[in-house]
Amino acid sequence: MTKEIIVETKGLHKIYGSESLRVHALKGIDLEIKTGEMVAVMGPSGCGKTTLLNCLSGLDSINEGDVIIDNRPISSLNDNQMSEFRAKFMGFIFQTYNLLSVLTAQENVEMPLLVSGVKSSLAAEMAKNQLQEVGLLDWIDHKPDQLSGGQRQRVAIARALVNKPAIIWADEPTGNLDSSNEKEIMDLMARLNSEHNQTVVLVTHSDLVASYAHRIITMNDGVIVSSENIKK
């Protein structure tokens, strides 16, 4: 089965800061990610992993090169188009969950649906199903501060997955969790990835997390030093 390439970048450069204090965070990244692939990005702290993720997902601007997602160069999208693109095409998972503390689990999960124009009754239904899928049906009316770290991350995953995005970006999704929670979360992500054929790009320091991936990309000082497929 030949897979389509969903994310592609060539000669990607990212430079932070002003004239006086310049940080060359990405120094010419070439990368192709196929649909349904689960890619782990690893490397020492400060090597540019988060930067890479943000540039690929269009959250951050790029100094040189372009990112092409689903055959669309993201440089051709303006801010509003990019937002809409994110709403329909991508899901994000963060290390610190970043849930809205004032909304319930279900309302948090509904958010991306509402933003992309799904009717509210349908959105509620879909959110419930998604929360069931991550095993939180009993917790839908709870607010984030009434949930454990693992549960919160599962809500965040549900939020990232609920609009069936083609790509999921996860920056150290298990960074704040203990190892048993880490395993649970990764089992869940792996399962969803294979069931829905969604592309997952995750940044991690954990070998356990990386072991779930199809491919591990290793970075150092703003460049990719290796990219190896894992045979399962």
Partner 1 sequence: MEKLFGVQTDYLAYGSGIFASVMFLFLVFVAIRALVMFKIGARNLPRNPNQTVLIILGLMLSTTIIGASLGVGDTVTHSIRKVVFDGLGHTDQTIQPTGSRFFGEEFISGEQLEEIKQVIKLKTNNVDGVMSVVEIVLPAENLSNDRAEARMTLRGFNHSETYGFGKLFLLDGTEVNISSLGKNQLFLTGSAASTLSASSGDELRFYSTEGVHNFVVKGILKDGGLASGGSIKLAILNQLDMQNEFSLIDKFNQVILSNTGGIEGGQKYSEEITKNLRLAFSNADVSNEYFNLLNSEKIIDLLEKKIEINSENRSVSETDRETFVAYLQEIRKGMISDEFINLINDSGKRFLLISVLKELEDSLLIDKLLFLSRDLGQFEVVESKKDAIQFAEAIGSGTTTFLGLFGSFSIIVGILLIFLVMVLLSASRQTEMGMARAIGFKRHHLIQIFTLEGWLYAISSSLIGTLFGVAVSFTLVYLLQNAIGSDDFNISPHYTLTSLVITFSSGMILTLVTVIISSYRISNLNIIVAIRGLTEEMVKPPQIIWKDRFKNFLFAILWPVKVFKDLRKSSASVFRKIIRLIFSFFPPIWLWQIFKSIFSIFSPLYRQGWPLIILGVIASYYGIDLLQGTYFSIGISLIILGIGTFIRYIFSRNISISKIVNRIVASFEGLLLMIFWGSPFDTFEAWTGELETGVEIFILGGVAMVASSVWLIMNNTQIILWIFNFITGKTFSGLQAVFKTAVAYPINAKFRTGLTVSMFALIIFTLVINTVLSGLNNVGLNQPDRLTGGFDIQARLPKGFGIGDLKENIEDKGFSDKISIRVVAKSVNVPSLAKDSTNSESQFDDLSLKIVDQTYLDSNKFEFSHYDPKYGSNPRELWLSLKNDPNLAVLSNDVFESGDPFGPPREGFVIKDFSSDSGADEWTARQILFKPNTTSVDGIVVSRTVIGILDPLAEDFGNDWGSGPYMITSQDVMIDYLGKEIPFDTIYISLLDGDAKEIVPILEKIFIVSGLDAVDTIGQIENDAEAGESFNRLFQGFVGLGLLVGVAAIGVLSVRAVVERRKIIGTLRAIGYTSNMIQIQFLLEAIFVTVLGVFIGVGLGLLTSWNIFNSISDEVEGLTYVIPWANISILVAITVIFALITAFLPARQAAKIFPAEVLRNE
Ligand X SMILES: Nc1ncnc2c1ncn2[C@@H]1O[C@H](COP(=O)(O)OP(=O)(O)OP(=O)(O)O)[C@@H](O)[C@H]1O
Measure the CA–CA gap between 180 and 12, rounded to whole angstroms: 36
> At closest approach, how far in Å is the CB of 120 from Mg ion?
35
Q: Which of 3, 119, 164, 191 binds partner 1 (CB under 8 A)?
A: 119
Within 13 Å, how many C-alpha atoms sit on residue 120's CB side?
2
Measure the CA–CA gap between 226 and 4, rounded to whole angstroms: 22
List CB contacts of 114: < 8 A, sequence separation 6 or more: 120, 123
> At closest approach, how far in Å is the CB of 92 from partner 1?
4
> At closest approach, how far in Å is the CB of 232 from partner 1?
29
Q: Which of 50, 116, 176, 227 binds Mg ion (CB under 5 A)?
A: 50
Start-to-end C-alpha separation, the chain: 16
The yes or no reply on residue 212 touching partner 1 (CB under 8 A) is no
> At closest approach, how far in Å is the CB of 189 from ligand X?
19
CA 114, 97, 41, 43 dihedral sign is positive
Using CB under 6 A as the binding rule, the residues of this chain from 23 to 42 that contact ligand X are 23, 25
> Strands 5-16 and 23-34: what pairing?
antiparallel
Q: Residue numbers of the site for ligand X (CB under 6 A)?
A: 16-17, 23, 25, 43, 45-51
Q: Residue numbers of the site for partner 1 (CB under 8 A)?
A: 50, 54, 57, 59-61, 79-80, 83-84, 86-88, 90, 92, 94-96, 98, 100-103, 107, 110-121, 123, 159, 171-172, 175
